[in-house]
Structure 1
Amino acid sequence: MLIFPYAKINLGLQVLRKRPDGYHDIRSVLFPIPLHDALEAVVDDSVPRGEVRFARTGIPVPGDPASDLCLKAVEQVRKLRELPGLRMHLHKAIPTGAGLGGGSSDGAHTLLLLNDLLNIQIPRAQLHPMAAELGSDCPFFLEHAPQLAEGRGEVLSPAEPNLSGHWLVLVNPGIHVPTAEVYGNLQLRSEDADLRELLTAPITSWQGTVVNDMEEYVFAKHPAIGAIKEELLAKGASYAAMSGSGSSVFGVFSKKPVGLRFAKEYGMWVFPALNRR
Structure 2
Amino acid sequence: MICFPNAKINLGLNVVSKRPDGYHDIETIFYPIPVRDALEVVASDRTRLAQTGIPVDAPPEKNLVLKALDALRARYEIPPLEIHLLKAIPFGAGLGGGSADAAFMLRLVNDFGGLGLQPDELEAIASTIGADCPFFIRNRPVFATGTGNRFEPVELSLEAYHLCLVKPDVAVSTPEAYSMVTPAAPESSLRTIVRLPVSEWEGRMVNDFERSVFARHPRIGRIKDTLYERGALYAAMSGSGSSVFGLFGEPTHLKEEPLFGDCFVWEGPLA
TM superposition score category, shorter chain reference: over 0.9
Partner of 2:30: 30
2:124 aligned residue (119, 122, 129): 129
Per-residue deviation, 1:273: 2.0
CA–CA separation in structure 2 for the residues paired with 1:132 and 1:42: 25
TM alignment of 1:84-233, pairs within 5 A: 84-233=79-228
CA–CA separation in structure 2 for the residues paired with 1:193 and 1:96: 31
Partner of 1:69: 64
Q: Are 1:264 and 2:261 an aligned pair?
A: yes
CA–CA separation in structure 2 for the residues paired with 1:166 and 1:211: 19
CA–CA separation in structure 2 for the residues paired with 1:69 and 1:221: 29
Can you list the C-alpha shifts for 1:232-272, whole angstroms capped at 9, x where unaligned? 00111011000011010000111112356143211111111
Farther-moved stretch of structure 1 (234-243 vs 80-89): 80-89
Helix, strand or coil for the counterpart of 2:7? strand
Partner of 2:247: 252
Does the 8 Å CA contact 1:170/1:250 hold for their aligned counterparts?
A: yes
Farther-moved stretch of structure 1 (165-174 vs 226-235): 165-174
Per-residue deviation, 1:124: 1.6
In the alignment of these two chains, the number of paired residues is 269
Helix, strand or coil for the counterpart of 2:191? helix
Amino acid corresponding to residue 11 of structure 1 in structure 2: L
Can you list the C-alpha shifts for 1:132-188, whole angstroms capped at 9, x where unaligned? 111001011111211111110110111123423111110010211110110111122
TM alignment of 1:4-19, pairs within 5 A: 4-19=4-19
Amino acid corresponding to residue 263 of structure 2 in structure 1: Y
CA–CA separation in structure 2 for the residues paired with 1:164 and 1:82: 40
Amino acid corresponding to residue 150 of structure 2 in structure 1: V
Helix, strand or coil for the counterpart of 2:169? coil
Amino acid corresponding to residue 117 of structure 1 in structure 2: F
Does the 8 Å CA contact 1:170/1:269 hold for their aligned counterparts?
A: yes
Q: TM-score with structure 2 length normalisation?
A: 0.96
Per-residue deviation, 1:191: 3.3
Does the 8 Å CA contact 2:166/2:260 hold for their aligned counterparts?
A: no
Farther-moved stretch of structure 1 (231-240 vs 164-173): 164-173
Amino acid corresponding to residue 101 of structure 2 in structure 1: D
Can you list the C-alpha shifts for 1:119-139, whole angstroms capped at 9, x where unaligned? 111122211111011100101
Farther-moved stretch of structure 1 (89-98 vs 258-267): 258-267
Unaligned runs of 5+ in 2: none
State the superposition RMSD in angstroms: 1.2
